[in-house]
Amino acid sequence: MTSIWKAAATGEFEGRPLVPPERGAVPGDRYDVVVVGAGITGLTAALELQRAGRSVAVIEARDVAALATGGNTGKASVLQGKRLSMIRRSHSARVTRAYIEANLDGQRWIEQFSREHGVPFSFETDYSYAQEQGGLRTLDDVFQAAFEAGLPVERVERMPVPFPFAGAVALPGQLALDPYRLALEMAREFVRNGGVLTTGVRVTGVRASDPAVVETDNGELLTDDVVITTAAPVLYRGLYFAKTRHSRSYLASFRVEDPPTPGLFISVDGRTRSLRAAPDPESPDAPQQLIVGGNEHPVGRVDSAAARVEDLLEWTKRYFPGAELTHRWSAQDYESANLVPFAGRMPRGRGRVWVATGYAKWGLTNGAAAALRISAEILGEPRPEQRPWIRTLATRVTMPSDVGRGIAENATVGRELVAGWVRAELHRAPVPKPAEGQGVVASRGGVPIGVSTVDGTTRAVRAVCTHLGGVLCWNDAEATWDCPLHGSRFEASGRLIEGPAFRDLEATERPDGAV
């Protein structure tokens, strides 16, 4: 599954490197800062620190913008569906305003970089809309939270759109762009200016010594500071996997008969529907395509991911007759228990290890803002000179509702841990060879074994997450093994894709017919 953004980049460069080749990090090298992760947060931090004269290396396990950054809808908006009302319900007006100011700074950074480096973007009105009358109360809360914080929002009662629409809150002047193109240009700028970008190397640990030691599957690096910007932090310090909730969403792009309604849309009620127009990757002169996203669910906690995808496609074809599917893909992100992203020093890191996570699918503006905050603190910016929102978010108080969300999520994790092992034990091997695109977990000698058939090849792996031992579930939409505990995901072969885990699954002997 390839996103419309990656398809556009592949066509533009026709086999040429997306990022100019450069010497990667060599074991034993020392840098002022090592950044882990080449998404929006990591690349923004790397550029900010590089501009300040620091030597920086970026280490990425896959490719630039391989996951959430290259797979979102490209909305750099501060309205963000119903998020502002959720934060205001749990926090003070001061904290909500600081959150908005952080996102505005992130948005301005993206706009300025895009202008300076030729990344196409447009200003659009963003609509948080209700699909039914029952969602209007949520819109009231969204409007109040945004208006109270000084955003120039308006109420909209009717719009000429083909899908269910009961009203909206509108905020003009929000950015829409190609997030993958943005990340590639950021990586190119970083490399052009002497930065060290290493892809295909996984960080497996950090020792907060003096200097700090970054452990990778290709050797060790030395550094004064380490910035962890992977969607789920790969270190156990701080237990961030227990302070966040994981969620997976599905997206698709379509050629449609009539031009999509201008603007950015995301629903605040029912199953999420997120819409925007985007250039056709095969022909910039062709009418714009329609991107539709939604149907999110916790990773590994759905009976059929394929059914979620099919529901999204059917919804689009119902309200946009003649829509022709061109691309479909998915993305994953994490939400912090207190609804405001984590950004700053990581506990037990001796002031050398920094972390950013918990953007709740609004990672373009939140990710850039987190990078601005972390880079300012690494550079020793005096507290009185820091942006006011940095000081506010650094001193916010944890509320009882935050604790409640964290307790509820971890209780769910506990139930999933037990249920997974019970289900596996009740389903004993041998099992028939799975059909193409299918996978099954069965117990063999008390060990859950995952058997799948993908592209005609049947494989067996130890279906136990290498993070904290959750029994994996088969994702029938993406042919992956997903962990319902903390969101780690693995290819059918056992290779790690993403999540807090940092080791591949153990392969077992290849099955012949039955296991």
Per-residue pLDDT tens over the stretch 113-149:
999 999 999 999 999 999 999 999 999 999 999 999 9
Structural contact between residues 245 and 334, judged by C-beta atoms closer than 8 angstroms: yes
Tally of CB atoms within 10 A around 173: 12
Nearest to 249 by CA among 413, 81, 82, 71: 71
Give the model's pLDDT for residue 416. 80
Is 14 a residue whose pLDDT tops 90? no
Query: Using omega within 30 degrees of 0 as the cis cutoff, is the peptide bond preceding 430 cis?
Result: yes
Give the model's pLDDT for residue 2. 86
Q: Is 150 left (phi over 0), alpha (psi -120 to 50) or beta?
A: left
Rounded to two decimals, the pTM is: 0.93
Per-residue pLDDT tens over the stretch 36-92:
999 999 999 999 999 999 999 999 999 999 999 999 999 999 999 999 999 999 999
**For the ranges 154-168, 306-320, 391-405, 496-510, which has the lowest average pLDDT?**
391-405
- Widest CA span of the chain, in angstroms? 68
* SS3 call for 240: helix
**For the ranges 103-107, 376-380, 425-429, which has the lowest average pLDDT?**
425-429
Instruction: Report residue 111 as tokens.
Output: 């706009």
Is 21 a residue whose pLDDT tops 80? no
Give the model's pLDDT for residue 403. 57
Structural contact between residues 323 and 256, judged by C-beta atoms closer than 8 angstroms: yes
Q: Report the distance separating Cα 245 and Cα 412, nearest Å.
A: 10
Give the model's pLDDT for residue 505. 96
Supply the angle between the helices 40-51 and 179-192 in degrees, to the nearest 10: 30
Nearest to 37 by CA among 266, 174, 216: 216
Nearest to 7 by CA among 187, 178, 136, 177: 178
Per-residue pLDDT tens over the stretch 226-265:
999 999 888 877 888 888 999 999 999 999 988 899 999 9
Domains and CATH numbers, the chain: 414-498 (2.102.10.10)
The β-bridge relationship of strands 439-444 and 447-454 is: antiparallel
Is 513 a residue whose pLDDT tops 50? no
Say if residue 438 is exposed, middle or buried (CB neighbours under 10 Å; 0-12, 13-18, 19+): middle
The mean of the pLDDT values for the chain is 92
Give the model's pLDDT for residue 409. 75
| Residue 346 dihedral angles phi and psi, to the nearest 5° | -90, 135
Say if residue 297 is exposed, middle or buried (CB neighbours under 10 Å; 0-12, 13-18, 19+): middle
Which residue is associated with the tokens 């931090």? 45
Per-residue pLDDT tens over the stretch 420-463:
777 877 778 888 999 999 999 999 989 999 999 999 999 999 99
DSSP 241: G
Give the model's pLDDT for residue 307. 97
Q: Report the distance separating Cα 495 and Cα 511, nearest Å.
A: 18
3-state helix, strand, coil in the chain (%, to 5): 30, 30, 40
Nearest to 194 by CA among 36, 65, 372, 31: 31
303-363-189-37 Cα dihedral, nearest 10 degrees: -60
Residue 74: partners with Cβ closer than 8 Å, 6 or more residues away: 5, 176, 177, 178, 179, 276, 278, 364
Give the model's pLDDT for residue 404. 65
* SS3 call for 308: helix
Structural contact between residues 4 and 69, judged by C-beta atoms closer than 8 angstroms: no
Q: Report the distance separating Cα 179 and Cα 6, nearest Å.
A: 10
The β-bridge relationship of strands 324-336 and 457-462 is: unpaired
Q: Report the distance separating Cα 165 and Cα 135, nearest Å.
A: 10
Is 366 a residue whose pLDDT tops 60? yes
Residue 424: partners with Cβ closer than 8 Å, 6 or more residues away: 441, 442, 443, 448, 463, 471
Average pLDDT over residues 19-27: 73
CA atoms in the 13 A half-sphere facing the CB of 90? 21
Percent of the chain at pLDDT above 90?
78
Percent of the chain at pLDDT above 70?
94
Is 1 a residue whose pLDDT tops 80? no
CA atoms in the 13 A half-sphere facing the CB of 223? 32
